[in-house]
């Protein structure tokens, strides 16, 4: 049996349900191409041209739609991640546990490789009381935070800075500076009369934190964190 034997059946199917063809983009394109060939080279089918333009426009709209949906899911996932980290951060009942939890479970929830709390102080960094607080805490001289966040650039320092790490970041990451490639820096207001602090998240992935990314969620996290810090410092 040849393919032409199915012609009456296909014809009846198309007549009864023409949307089968209209909704098939490849089939419609083939029909338009065949129609253009039948008309000859001296005739331009404006309907075909218009349809091609509409198809290109539809493709762009579909790409935009997919991008918007992907961004929405990513934002929702990031929001849930920050909320879980905040709840976990509120569990400890003493400052030492608060810091250890920050560098372990909170860091794991946020999927970062390093979390550091930088505090400016006049105390000696070798003070036993400071060393007991673990590797999460870094102490620095007054003015260090602003200079580190500014990275040699002038102008006002933003509350949240996302970037690749600087060549000389051992002061914060220690030995891990050799493999930490991107960082999120959040300036902390610890209250009137106190030197500022800085919360630092570091990642091995050089593209995890980029200047083009939004900072609203990290600003929220930093706001919750600094309020918790004020409680411990009182």
pLDDT per residue as tens digits for the range 214-228:
888 999 999 999 888
Distance CA 62, CA 6 (A): 36
Enumerate the domain spans of the chain.
93-233
**CATH architecture of the region 93-233:** 2-Layer Sandwich (3.30)
Rounded to the nearest 10 degrees, what angle do helices 46-89 and 216-233 cross at?
10
Which tokens in the block code for residue 182? 């991107």
- Closest to 115 (Cα-Cα) out of 189, 63, 50, 183: 183
Question: What is the side-by-side order of every strand in the sheet holding 137-140?
Answer: 137-140, 114-120, 197-203, 182-188, 160-164
pLDDT per residue as tens digits for the range 56-114:
777 787 777 777 776 666 666 778 889 999 999 888 888 888 888 888 899 999 999 99
Which tokens in the block code for residue 166? 């600087």
Q: What is the dihedral of CA 196, 191, 227, 106, to 10 degrees?
A: 20
């Amino acid at each position: 049996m040849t393919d032409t034997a199915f012609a009456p059946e296909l014809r009846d199917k198309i007549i009864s349900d023409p949307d089968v063809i209209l909704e098939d983009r490849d089939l419609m394109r083939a029909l338009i191409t065949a129609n253009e060939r039948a008309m000859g080279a001296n005739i331009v089918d404006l309907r075909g041209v218009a349809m091609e333009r509409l198809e290109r426009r539809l493709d762009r709209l579909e790409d935009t739609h997919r991008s918007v949906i992907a961004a929405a899911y990513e934002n929702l996932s990031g929001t849930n991640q920050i909320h879980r980290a905040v709840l976990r951060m509120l569990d400890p009942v003493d400052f030492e546990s608060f810091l250890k939890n920050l560098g372990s479970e909170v860091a794991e929830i946020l999927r970062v490789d390093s979390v550091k709390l930088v505090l400016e102080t006049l105390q000696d960094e070798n003070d036993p009381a400071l060393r007991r607080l673990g590797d999460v805490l870094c102490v620095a001289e007054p003015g260090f935070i602003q200079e580190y966040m500014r990275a040699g650039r002038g102008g006002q320092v933003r509350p949240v800075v996302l970037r690749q790490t600087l060549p000389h970041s051992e002061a914060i990451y220690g030995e891990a500076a050799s493999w930490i490639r991107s960082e999120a820096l959040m300036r902390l207001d610890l209250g009137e009369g106190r030197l500022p602090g800085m919360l630092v998240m570091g990642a091995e992935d050089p593209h995890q934190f980029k200047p083009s990314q939004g900072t609203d969620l990290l600003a929220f996290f930093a706001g919750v964190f600094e309020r918790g810090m004020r409680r411990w410092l009182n």
